[in-house]
Structure 1
Amino acid sequence: MEDIPGPAPRADGGAGAVAAAGGLHAYQLRLHATYGPLVRFQLPGAQRAVSVADPVLLEATAHLDKRPERLFAFLEPFFEAGNLQVLPASEHTPWRRVLLSVLAGRPSHERHFARFTELATELADHWEQQGGTGRPVALQKDLTTLSLRMIGVYALGGEAGDPQAAVAAFEEVLTEYLGRLYRVPAPGGQGDQGGPGDQERAVRAREALALLRGMVDRVVAAHRSGGRTDRSDLIGALVEAGERPARIRDTVMMTMLAAHHTTGVAVSWTLHLLGRHPEVAERVTAELDRVLGDRAAPAYADLRRLPYLEMVLKEAMRLFPPGPYGARETTAPLRLGAHEIPAGTTVFYPFWALHMNPAYWPDPERFLPERFAPDEVARRPRLAYVPFGLGPRSCEGAALAMAEAELVLAVLLKRLRLQPVPGHEVTPVERFVLWAADDIRMTVGPRTPA
């Protein structure tokens, strides 16, 4: 591995370099811009690591089915029966099969589509009313709440108590435990490990985790009393598969965590980009008017008749991936191009850097939905675009997330006109996903169809 380019070793194991870059997402962009598509680097939680931002090289890793345990240790507080992100293949494969049977099936998507539409319409009503007061809306706050409500209705048997409180609690816990992994303590002052600031954050994280666990227990208890049995019932499917209660609670927690991030953040960044590219927004709304006519929302079958909307969403997820990185661990030597990677190496998937690779995405920082026209897609390697990961550990809810996001975008854009708030700066920051530091604030008004 020594012949792979990369930065000089650091005594802190790389944590300082990550912190100096503003997070792991930005650090990966810097690494690959400096050293090329394959980089050897230090990563807290990994003794040996290589980062792969080339889709052809990624093909050689797509079969890997082991995640590095230390790298995902920050998620352990969410789980009681073991970290679901690092289950061995013998446990992960049957568990994943249950999740896919619920989350990936088109019939179950169709069964819940009417309720999804009601929830999206409620948000459009709220935004229109708020727009009438002259106050801007906070996209990420409202859309992550909507996403959590949707996954509650879809797979958990009902809404998860107070969705806004749940979203805030997830952020509190993730910020604390990610900070423990990557933060470099400064000597003296409140930023020290064990100092007053850390103690206060730890207390808030414990309180947030207790809130989430109580919420999950109420979801599971309500499900038992309701006795749901349809095929889109995740808890019921896990019970039928023989999973123990603690594993079921852990799966509910993970589903809530993953689902509210994916859809809400993807839709937020899409609306942000459309607000800054009105010519693209006009083309999207023209397609919606043409396909939907006077209808305020699409039917499930209409989604396939909205190809430009899908292209816009995909381009937004290229620029701001819902899951910005992944990782696997080699269990045997692996050949990556001209390099031999030993067993026990962390193979890092920097999705953001991969999506910004100029060899496959010319002028990569430009927002250009036409990149996802069928002929353009056919010219690229299949792993040039991996917003939901790859291989046997990819996101089980990818198909559901896309259907939800396209529906929400269609409902909001058909009815409302969203514009950036003058002077409001939108800055991506690392909060497990690519979040906006001070949310994404936009003004909202009614839209008159062309």
Structure 2
Amino acid sequence: MDIPGPEPRADGGVAALAAAGGLHTYQLRLHAAYGPVVRFQLPGAGEAVSVADPVLLEATVGIDRRPERLFAFLDPLFEAGNLQAMPAGEHTPWRRQVLSALAGRPSHERHLPRFTELATALADRWDEQADHGPVGLQKDLTTLSLRMICGYALGGDTADPDRVVAAFEAVLTEHLGRLHQDPPSDPPGTSAGRAEEALAHLRATVDRVVRAHRSGGRAGSSDLIGALVEAGASPARIRDTVMAMMLAAHHTTGVAVSWTLHLLGGHPEVADRVAGELDRVLGDRAAPDYADLRRLRYLEMTLKESMRLYPPGPYGARETTGPLTVGDYEIPAGTTILYPFWAIHMNPDHWPEPEEFRPERFTPEETARRPRLAYVPFGIGPRSCEGAALAMVEAELVLAVLLKRFRFRPAPGHRVTPVERFVLWAADDIRMTVHRRTANQDRGDAPGRRPAAG
């Protein structure tokens, strides 16, 4: 059976993608028009197949190849081969080494005090702006997430973490600009030159930490680098891994937290219940410890529902290594498979009234009723995000610190428009006013009707 989809166009699909406002919204439109499996032109990949049904996705879950052309824009960041598209045989042992550092509770618990310190510093700064005008959530929160992951990846062994953060932002801006073909705002060569200098600084910083680990002087100060050194990874591979981790962290924690605050600002009933839970679990304490995070169940449900409505990474990609049967369709080898996370999360067959913001969708009972791939904010299969567990710890901590202290309201007249910029960003940031919590502002955790997500 032929896979349905729009007729091919001479421009390779560029105009259709642009008219939709990005790949994330284009996939929503495609699946609404053609069903759960769609064939379409994807610029840079020729023809692709998008699958939005979680049951049909099971047929693709074991694929461990990414299409190299789609990730080629990241090639200059890596010295030992593009980690986003490395061959499966090389990827499996590398992933095992990275997970040994990122997935374990001891590592998360050890870094929590520093994460708390950084989150509290942001809260202190926002406290000075409270009741005085809006703050730009995504700018501040993505900078916070970079500071957190910089400390985690480098173990606090860098003398100037702010310079590392600034250097990474320069590198990221340059390479995402190449992906989206933004016109340069600087004279020719200026932006690229700054990015090259910043990249050299990042690599030199990682090299210093690696040398310290190899000499035994600061063994264990970076769980990630320590695990890779112990596994015998080359210096270039270690540098690449730190860069990849910073890239992933930059577009997960900060973006997820910002969309969650945006949703809570428009849904005061949910915000009341989150505040009530924080007060019960934390009492007079301003921040949770690691054990508290497990008790903040409604906060976790709220974060998950936010990432359903606004997944930080709106899609994933794989390349078939052989013929593949997906439902009634035969997909040939070498086909680019798109995982449209946003369309999957908005599938009404598994998410009734999908536009509604309802954290209660993530009770254990509700979760057990859905197919396991109905919710995939961190990807699918052997190429899913290695830092997913760490990202959840960071995001829940930051939300707890901020929501214990503040209430957030939409900035008057500010329109929040999701756009795809490698991540699900907001076109003009998410601007909200910050208000200190007081006893008469909060009504505990009384349940109420959940208005539709806006």
Alignment TM-score, normalising by the size of structure 1: 0.92
Aligned CA distance change for structure 1 residues 209 and 437 (closer, same or farther; 3 Å):
farther
CA distance in 1, matches of 2:432, 2:172: 22
Aligned to 2:200: 213
Aligned AA (2:49): V
Task: Select the residue among 367, 371, 386 that pairs with 2:357.
Answer: 367
Task: Select the residue among 133, 136, 145 that pairs with 2:134.
Answer: 136
Aligned to 2:39: 40
Matched, 1:238 2:259: no
Aligned AA (1:252): V
CA distance in 1, matches of 2:323, 2:19: 32
Aligned CA distance change for structure 1 residues 39 and 47 (closer, same or farther; 3 Å):
same
CA distance in 1, matches of 2:168, 2:404: 27
Deviation, 1:237, is 1.8
Deviation, 1:173, is 2.2
Aligned AA (2:417): T
Task: Select the residue among 340, 343, 360 that pairs with 1:353.
Answer: 343
CA distance in 1, matches of 2:251, 2:207: 21
CA distance in 2, matches of 1:174, 1:25: 20
Are the equivalent residues in 1 in contact too, given 2:118–2:144 (CA < 8 A)? Answer: yes
Deviation, 1:135, is 3.2
Deviation, 1:296, is 0.9
1:331-373 per-position Cα deviation (integer Å, ceiling 9, x unaligned): 1111100111111111110101111111111111111111111
SS in 1 for 2:251: helix
Aligned to 1:16: 15
CA distance in 2, matches of 1:286, 1:207: 47
Are the equivalent residues in 2 in contact too, given 1:174–1:432 (CA < 8 A)? Answer: no
Aligned to 1:31: 30
CA distance in 1, matches of 2:273, 2:13: 45
Aligned CA distance change for structure 1 residues 110 and 199 (closer, same or farther; 3 Å):
closer
Aligned to 1:73: 72
Task: Select the residue among 239, 259, 275 that pairs with 2:265.
Answer: 275
Deviation, 1:408, is 0.5
Deviation, 1:280, is 0.6
Aligned AA (1:290): R
Are the equivalent residues in 2 in contact too, given 1:148–1:163 (CA < 8 A)? Answer: no
Aligned CA distance change for structure 1 residues 66 and 15 (closer, same or farther; 3 Å):
same
Aligned AA (2:148): M
CA distance in 1, matches of 2:345, 2:192: 33
Aligned to 1:204: 191
Aligned CA distance change for structure 1 residues 249 and 166 (closer, same or farther; 3 Å):
same
Matched, 1:146 2:133: no
Aligned CA distance change for structure 1 residues 275 and 119 (closer, same or farther; 3 Å):
same
CA distance in 1, matches of 2:267, 2:168: 29
Aligned AA (1:234): L
Note the 1:254-265 alignment, pairs <5 A. 254-265=244-255
Aligned to 2:447: none
Aligned CA distance change for structure 1 residues 201 and 300 (closer, same or farther; 3 Å):
farther
1:395-419 per-position Cα deviation (integer Å, ceiling 9, x unaligned): 0000000011001000100011221
SS in 1 for 2:60: coil
Are the equivalent residues in 2 in contact too, given 1:157–1:228 (CA < 8 A)? Answer: no
Aligned to 2:103: 104
CA distance in 2, matches of 1:242, 1:399: 25
CA distance in 1, matches of 2:397, 2:78: 31
Task: Select the residue among 300, 305, 317 that pairs with 1:310.
Answer: 300
SS in 2 for 1:324: coil
Q: Which moved more, 1:85-94 or 1:155-164?
A: 155-164
Are the equivalent residues in 1 in contact too, given 2:168–2:202 (CA < 8 A)? Answer: no
Matched, 1:287 2:274: no
Are the equivalent residues in 1 in contact too, given 2:75–2:81 (CA < 8 A)? Answer: yes
Task: Select the residue among 153, 156, 163 that pairs with 2:154.
Answer: 156
1:75-127 per-position Cα deviation (integer Å, ceiling 9, x unaligned): 11211221111111111111111110111101111111111111111111111
SS in 2 for 1:63: coil
CA distance in 2, matches of 1:201, 1:400: 39
CA distance in 1, matches of 2:264, 2:108: 26
Aligned CA distance change for structure 1 residues 205 and 419 (closer, same or farther; 3 Å):
farther
Aligned to 1:186: none
Aligned AA (2:163): D
CA distance in 2, matches of 1:444, 1:174: 33
Matched, 1:85 2:72: no
Deviation, 1:223, is 5.0
Task: Select the residue among 376, 396, 400 that pairs with 2:390.
Answer: 400
Aligned to 2:176: 175
Aligned CA distance change for structure 1 residues 340 and 201 (closer, same or farther; 3 Å):
farther
Aligned to 1:187: none
Aligned CA distance change for structure 1 residues 199 and 36 (closer, same or farther; 3 Å):
farther
Aligned CA distance change for structure 1 residues 78 and 65 (closer, same or farther; 3 Å):
same
CA RMSD of aligned residues (A): 2.0
Aligned CA distance change for structure 1 residues 202 and 318 (closer, same or farther; 3 Å):
farther
Are the equivalent residues in 2 in contact too, given 1:418–1:444 (CA < 8 A)? Answer: yes
CA distance in 2, matches of 1:254, 1:173: 15
Aligned CA distance change for structure 1 residues 30 and 170 (closer, same or farther; 3 Å):
farther
Are the equivalent residues in 2 in contact too, given 1:261–1:322 (CA < 8 A)? Answer: yes
CA distance in 1, matches of 2:342, 2:193: 31
Calculate percent identity across the aligned residue pairs.
72
CA distance in 1, matches of 2:9, 2:193: 32
1:27-85 per-position Cα deviation (integer Å, ceiling 9, x unaligned): 11111111111001111222331100000000010000111111111211211221111
Aligned CA distance change for structure 1 residues 87 and 239 (closer, same or farther; 3 Å):
same
CA distance in 2, matches of 1:202, 1:350: 35
Aligned to 1:64: 63
Task: Select the residue among 375, 378, 383 that pairs with 1:385.
Answer: 375
Note the 1:222-237 alignment, pairs <5 A. 222-225=209-212, 227-230=217-220, 233-237=223-227
Aligned CA distance change for structure 1 residues 291 and 98 (closer, same or farther; 3 Å):
same
Deviation, 1:168, is 3.7
Deviation, 1:297, is 0.9
Are the equivalent residues in 2 in contact too, given 1:136–1:421 (CA < 8 A)? Answer: yes
SS in 2 for 1:41: strand
Aligned CA distance change for structure 1 residues 9 and 59 (closer, same or farther; 3 Å):
same
Are the equivalent residues in 2 in contact too, given 1:325–1:350 (CA < 8 A)? Answer: yes
Number of residue pairs aligned between Structure 1 and Structure 2? 434
Are the equivalent residues in 1 in contact too, given 2:123–2:401 (CA < 8 A)? Answer: yes
Aligned CA distance change for structure 1 residues 369 and 200 (closer, same or farther; 3 Å):
farther
Aligned to 2:448: none
- Contiguous gaps of at least 5 residues in structure 1: 184-190, 192-196
Task: Select the residue among 253, 256, 271 that pairs with 1:266.
Answer: 256
